[in-house]
Structure 1
Amino acid sequence: MSYVIVAKRYASALYQVANEKGLVDEVGRDLQLISETLIKTPEFITLLQSPKVALEEKKELISSAFTQVQSITNNFLHVIVEGRREEALAEISKEYTKLADDAKGLLEVVVTSASALDDTERNGVADAFTKILGRQVRIQEKVDANLLGGLVVQVGDRLYDGSVKNKLERFQVALKETRVG
């Protein structure tokens, strides 16, 4: 079974419990904190996955490392460790965020640009895509110096490519077709 399928199931179960208790945003922040911690300290996840570390030790380690998280998040982490699904935590966090965003009517938009966007540019992109999509958007930024300029915006499986690189490539193809034709 792939991590995505597992992540969707776990995220859905956690979301339902968090929603019932009115803690959707809090649990979302907890998962973000946990994901960031695991990225910064990969040896932590290695320790959690180690068969040499007893299950109770792993639970104690989690509880002591994440003292500030909600009790349902802590219990959820224990379930993850018991089910040996630690490797899916990052994907579970992503899927949980998608569920929470959908419930709020938010849509994540990945914006790739040649350099970091300033606040005015970020707000302009957000406003434009809110109008295009008819939903509020949350911008996730990526920087790719190979773009030269412009933007590439990904919304789910749709791609809006307004990069200078893409425009130059299309221009080059048009020139070649003109010469051949």
Structure 2
Amino acid sequence: MKQRTPEAYARSILAIALEPWLEGLHAVQHAYETDAKLRGQLDNPTIEIKDKLALLEGVLPEGSPPELRKFLGVLLTNNDFGLIDEVVNALREALVEEAAGPQQAVITTAVALTEEERQKLEARLMEQFGPNLEFLYQVDPEILGGIIIQVGDKLIDDSVRGRLQALRQKLGVS
């Protein structure tokens, strides 16, 4: 029998809680993209924020969270409503990453890294691949020096062995 993890339950709660947000944001995004009149009114700096929010009320699905309305008000107040498409896409990407769970970063070096080197490397990898990483360190003296990093389907081979193999290929030597 498969045992459920607390993380799986937490992800389920998160997905359920965010569903009304996604529905509302998608409805607003779609209306903003397809209704030129609405877009013109929302982008018009002479129309008051409360009037713009009233326009959006007609677009939002019934039962949309009040916090979503406040968020839309913040976008309007900051003159950032044009970012709605990017906000929706970023939220979707974050949810997909979260649903997928942590990615494993396999790091291979010729010698063991110090704790300080690990922390710096982990910070750089989280900037590049997102914070949802688990790190697995391996020592393989056969790579001669440098580092090999595998995250998902991405491979970064900056090892001496990898450079020598690339040089052999360029020179046509087996």
Structure 2 length normalisation: TM-score?
Answer: 0.45
Q: Which is greater in Rg?
A: 2
Name the structure with the higher helix share: 1
Structure 1 length normalisation: TM-score?
Answer: 0.43
Q: Which has the higher contact order (CA 8 A, sep 6+)?
A: 1
